[in-house]
């Protein structure tokens, strides 16, 4: 019976989320059970695609990516895949009628990481961010609003800004690894080899604006999704604050983290604020 395989597939997506990202996993656990698994399914898909281009250095990444992309197309067409991650993802895609153009845009940005090292213009950067982050936010939004088109259209701009903010924080946090290990430079008009305070300030102000616009959408999310997304927002805001207080010279030489004890305190305070209805 396929139901057993589907259960195995969902378990794999949940395991991928828990192992690869403790922070995102914790936020996802705060979502209502009715939508939680579908977010695991989306995360598993985007994580596997990202791992191919970022981590499998001793293998032919292009061959692996082409195979993954072909398997994805077959999974969406046939509504089944022997790759359990793709099998669970296709289920969520069909359940909520996730836009195929969003999936295509995501894969396009991931493919760019196979060969493109520098993003020299704002246009190039925005195009990459749209495919690597904004559309992921839109996929999740379709789940959060349970396919409600009116709610989706109302919240999609905020969801894109929140996705952009998360991705840009990741870029700033991972600046050293991206530049030294992957030879990538995402922020345009910025010399990452000599990152200065002015450049850091400009990047952080841009991210703060994305957060502001993203937060407006969080307030309008359905109850099933609001607290989980709020937790993720608070975590990334805390990470951005730590980055803003870290000298530019340190950001380019080490990876800034939020320790587990801070995450726990952040979660506790966020829960209290939410229960007291201070998130509005």
pLDDT in tens, 157-200: 999 999 999 999 988 888 777 766 777 778 776 666 667 888 88
Average pLDDT rounded to a whole number, residues 231-253: 87
Q: What is the mean pLDDT of residues 90-119?
A: 94
- Mean pLDDT is lowest, of 77-91, 203-217, 236-250, for 236-250
* Domain made up of 2-275: CATH architecture: Orthogonal Bundle (1.10)
pLDDT at 273 (0 to 100): 58
Q: How far is CA 162 from CA 80, 166, 209, in A?
A: 31, 6, 10
Res 274: pLDDT:
53
Q: How would you class 28 by CB atoms within 10 Å of its CB: exposed for 0-12, middle for 13-18, buried for 19 or more? A: buried
Given a cut of 60, whether residue 272 has pLDDT beyond it is no
pLDDT band at 45 (very low <50, low <70, confident <90, very high): very high
pLDDT per residue as tens digits for the range 133-145? 999 999 999 999 9
Taking all residues of the chain, what is their mean pLDDT, rounded to a whole number? 88
- Identify the band that residue 270 occupies on the pLDDT scale cut at 50, 70 and 90: low
Q: How far apart are CA 190 and CA 186, in angstroms?
A: 9
| Other Cβ atoms closer than 10 A to 13 | 28
What confidence score (pLDDT) does residue 158 get? 97
- Express each pLDDT in 56-88 by its tens digit: 999 999 999 999 999 999 999 999 999 999 999
> How would DSSP label each residue in 87-143?
HHHHHHHHHHT--HHHHHHHHHHHHHTTT--B--SHHHHHHHHIIIIIHHHHHHHHH
Residue 4 has pLDDT above 60, yes or no: yes
Token pair for 272: 């209290």
Closest by Cα among 96, 199, 105, 200 to 151: 96
pLDDT of residue 276: 47
Half-sphere CA count of 238, side-chain side, radius 13 A: 20
């Amino acid at each position: 019976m396929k139901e057993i395989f589907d259960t195995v597939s969902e378990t794999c997506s949940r395991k991928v989320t828990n192992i690869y990202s403790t922070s995102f996993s914790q936020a996802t656990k705060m979502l209502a059970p009715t939508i939680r698994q579908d977010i695991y399914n989306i995360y598993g898909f985007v994580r596997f695609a990202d791992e191919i281009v970022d981590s499998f250095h001793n293998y032919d990444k292009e061959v692996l990516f082409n195979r993954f992309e072909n398997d994805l197309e077959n999974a969406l067409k046939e509504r089944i895949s022997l790759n359990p991650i793709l099998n669970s993802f296709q289920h969520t895609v069909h359940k909520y009628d996730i836009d195929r153009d969003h999936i295509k845009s995501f894969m396009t940005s991931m493919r760019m990481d196979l060969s493109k090292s520098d993003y020299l213009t704002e246009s190039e950067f925005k195009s990459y961010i749209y495919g690597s982050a904004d559309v992921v936010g839109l996929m999740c939004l379709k789940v959060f609003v349970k396919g409600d088109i009116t709610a989706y259209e109302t919240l999609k701009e905020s969801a894109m800004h929140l996705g952009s903010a998360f991705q840009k924080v990741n870029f700033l946090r991972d600046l050293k690894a991206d530049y030294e290990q992957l030879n990538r430079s995402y922020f345009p008009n910025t010399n990452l080899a000599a990152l200065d305070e002015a450049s850091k300030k400009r990047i952080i102000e841009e991210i703060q604006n994305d957060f502001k616009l993203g937060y407006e959408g969080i307030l309008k999310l359905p109850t099933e999704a609001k607290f989980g997304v709020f937790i993720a927002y608070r975590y990334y805001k805390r990470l951005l604050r730590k980055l803003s207080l870290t000298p530019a010279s340190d950001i380019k030489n080490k990876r800034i983290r939020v320790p587990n004890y801070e995450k726990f305190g952040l979660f506790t305070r966020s829960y209290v604020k939410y229960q007291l209805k201070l998130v509005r």
